[in-house]
Amino acid sequence: MRKISTPYLLLLPGVAFLFTFFILPIINLAQTSTQTPVGGGDTGEFEQTLRFSNYLDAFLENKEQFGRSFVYATIATLLALAIAYPLAYAIALKGGKLKNFMLILVIAPFFTSFLLRTVAWKQILGEEGFVVPTLRTIGIISDSTTLTSTSFAVVMGMTYNFLPFMTLPLYASIDRIDPRTLEASGDLYANGFTTFRRVTLPLSMPGVVAGTLLTFIPAAGDYVNAAILGSPNTKMIGNVIESRYLKIVDYPTAAALSFTLMIVILILVTVYVRKAGTEELV
């Protein structure tokens, strides 16, 4: 009897932590999302009226920010995948003795604050950086064109900040591929591209799916990059939620937006994982 209960006792701390810091806040958020202001909203107090139309009102009022968030997150995820896959491939299959050192370089940005890294991109893309003068010199942009406070800056910041989340799952997946499988492909007269398309890529799909999820989900709810690198015209839904909570003090709308964002992301993730054929990841 004691042996049977031991695993459940070991689970108790984790279950208690998740219940306290995840389940209870979610329940509180759900309750807040259906409240209405007391006295027309001037008092800063709210009462429970089960007003589910808060969800529809919040979505319709901020549908542009919702769409922008998912577009930015999708572009940043695709860019991160395009950058991270060759990097992870090189580290896993060509890294040799430098493999561990290269992995340290991948995670090195985590040693610095997320906020500081984003501010650094504002300087890199600003007038004092090297990117804008270089692009003007070679004629890609005009003298009046700037890169800061644009959607380009926001997407670049998101791509950079979430790049390690894409690289590490890809590396883990590619590193597990048996080299003899690639050698067998060559023995069957497959060239390098065919080997990659028919062997390497399919075997690394769990890493691709995991990396895209780890990148897309936080990117869709991000607000730091849009706040620092963007402008009012590049606001994402995370900026709206932050403003509703901390500035406008409209808790029901903020909670409804948060729940709507979670539900939409959950639906997209479920559809994506099923289409990718890796249901075991969820």
In a domain, 188, yes or no: yes
Mind spelling out the 3-state secondary structure of the chain?
CHHHHHHHHHHHHHHHHHHHHHHHHHHHHHHHHCEEEHHHHCCCCEEECCCCHHHHHHHHHCHHHHHHHHHHHHHHHHHHHHHHHHHHHHHHHHCHHHHHHHHHHHHHHHHCCHHHHHHHHHHHCCCCCCHHHHHHHCCCCCCCCCCCCCHHHHHHHHHHHHHHHHHHHHHHHHHCCCHHHHHHHHHCCCCHHHHHHHHHHHHCHHHHHHHHHHHHHHHHCCCHHHHHHCCHHHCCHHHHHHHHHHCCCCHHHHHHHHHHHHHHHHHHHHHHHHHHCCHHHC
Q: Is 65 in contact with 237 (CB distance < 8 Å)?
A: yes
| Backbone torsions φ then ψ of 35, nearest 5 degrees | -90, 165
CATH number, domain at 71?
1.10.3720.10
One-letter amino acid identity for 201?
L
Instruction: Give every CB contact of residue 166 below 8 A, 6+ residues apart in sequence.
Output: 77, 80, 81, 83, 84, 211, 212, 214, 215
CA distances in angstroms from 7 to 3, 10, 20, 58, listed in the order given: 8, 5, 21, 44
Its pTM stands at: 0.89
Q: Given this model, what pLDDT does residue 281 score?
A: 46
In a domain, 79, yes or no: yes
Quote the number of domains for the chain: 1
Please give the distance of CA 54 from its chain centroid, rounded to a whole number.
26
In a domain, 214, yes or no: yes
In a domain, 39, yes or no: no
- Domain residues for 203? 55-281
Q: Given this model, what pLDDT does residue 38 score?
A: 85
Q: Given this model, what pLDDT does residue 243 score?
A: 93
In a domain, 21, yes or no: no
Q: Given this model, what pLDDT does residue 85 score?
A: 96
Q: Given this model, what pLDDT does residue 32 score?
A: 93
Q: Given this model, what pLDDT does residue 52 score?
A: 92
In a domain, 33, yes or no: no
In a domain, 127, yes or no: yes
pLDDT digits (tens, 9 = 90+) for 83-133: 999 999 999 988 888 999 999 999 998 898 999 999 999 999 988 888 888
Q: Given this model, what pLDDT does residue 2 score?
A: 58
In a domain, 46, yes or no: no
Regions of the chain where pLDDT drops below 50: 280-282
